[in-house]
Structure 1
Amino acid sequence: MPHITIEYSDNLHSLDESWVLLQVNKALMGLGIFMDADIKTRIHGLRSYRMGVAAAESGDHAFVAATVELLSGREFTVQEHLGQVLLKVLERTCLQTDGPQTQISVHVREMQSELYFKSVSKRS
């Protein structure tokens, strides 16, 4: 744990998904609270999206929205720090100087430990 899902508007044409995922994972490892194999990230470029009404077709606006899911029990300060670190990584890796105005958001939320189920298979 954690699970991170990143969605972005596909008008961020030069966004390097693999680079973003690597930088997110490195930053989370740097916190010293997660094991390497427990950090799971995924990223999706969205072809269909809308931002507001007026700017919807202009392409002048873009977004990156990350959701971090953690098992319950982490202190608020840990969750807050994780969110701030992730926001800085996304600012560094997703903002494009010649691209559209971009809103970046991070939402950290807890999952009930009792309702999280996991299976790990072993290699032969």
Structure 2
Amino acid sequence: MHNNKNMPHISLEYSSNLHNLDESWVLLQVNKAVLSLGIFMDSDIKTRIHRLGSYRIGVSAAEAGDHAFVAATVDLLSGREFTIKELLGQVLLKALERSCRDPLDALQTQITVHVRELQSDLYFKSVSKPL
């Protein structure tokens, strides 16, 4: 049986035109926000970030140049209540708004969060411990 307390795994992607985004700072802010919910253990929160050099926003090159994005995907094992998943998404969105938007940047930045469930029976995990 899987422990529902494990997770979340959070993947962040952002457009490379967000030049002032501090990846380490964003990861720390995301983990702090998720930990503050009091439903996950510190070591169970795993977050990664990817700067995307190749992406496209819309069709018009002129239009796309004024836009940027940050997209978060949160993976949780199945079985959590909807209200927990909703709260997690809202808290994560607020943390990303605070840590990813540069007030000096003229870009219109869209931030999204997608919380999704992994089927617990098809999630496999191995943990090695020091000897």
TM-score bucket of the superposed structures, by smaller chain: over 0.9
Greater mean deviation of Cα atoms: 96-105 or 10-19:
96-105
Q: Distance in 2 between matches of 1:57 and 1:36?
A: 41
Measure how far apart 1:56 and its partner are: 6.2
Q: For 2:62 and 2:31, how far apart are their aligned partners in 1?
A: 32
Residue 58 of structure 1, CA deviation: 5.1
CA displacement at 1:54 relative to structure 2 = 1.1
Q: Amino acid of the residue matched to residue 113 of structure 1? A: S
Work out the number of aligned pairs and report it. Answer: 124
Q: Are residues 1:111 and 2:118 paired?
A: yes
Cα RMSD over matched residues?
Answer: 1.2
Cα separation, 1, equivalents of 2:125 and 2:62: 40
| Aligned equivalent of 2:82 | 76
In the alignment, the residues of structure 1 paired with residue 62 and residue 10 of structure 2 have an alpha-carbon distance, to the nearest angstrom, of 27
Q: Give the unaligned 5+ runs of structure 1.
A: none
TM-score, structure 1 as length reference: 0.96
Write out the 4+ residue segments of structure 1 that deviate beyond 2 Å after TM superposition. 55-59
Q: Contact 2:57–2:64 at 8 Å: present in 1 too?
A: no
In the alignment, structure 1 residue 29 sits paired with structure 2 residue 35:
yes
> In structure 2, what is the Cα distance between the partners aligned to 1:59 and 1:97?
17
Instruction: Please list, as runs of the form range in 1=range in 2, the aligned pairs for 1:1-124 lying within 5 A after superposition.
Output: 1-55=7-61, 59-99=65-105, 100-124=107-131
TM-score by length of 2: 0.91
Gaps of 5+ in 2: 1-6
Matched-pair contact (CA < 8 Å) for 1:55–1:61: no
Structure 1: how far apart are the matches of 2:65 and 2:49?
20
Distance 1:107 1:96, change over 3 A: same
SS in 1 for 2:48: strand
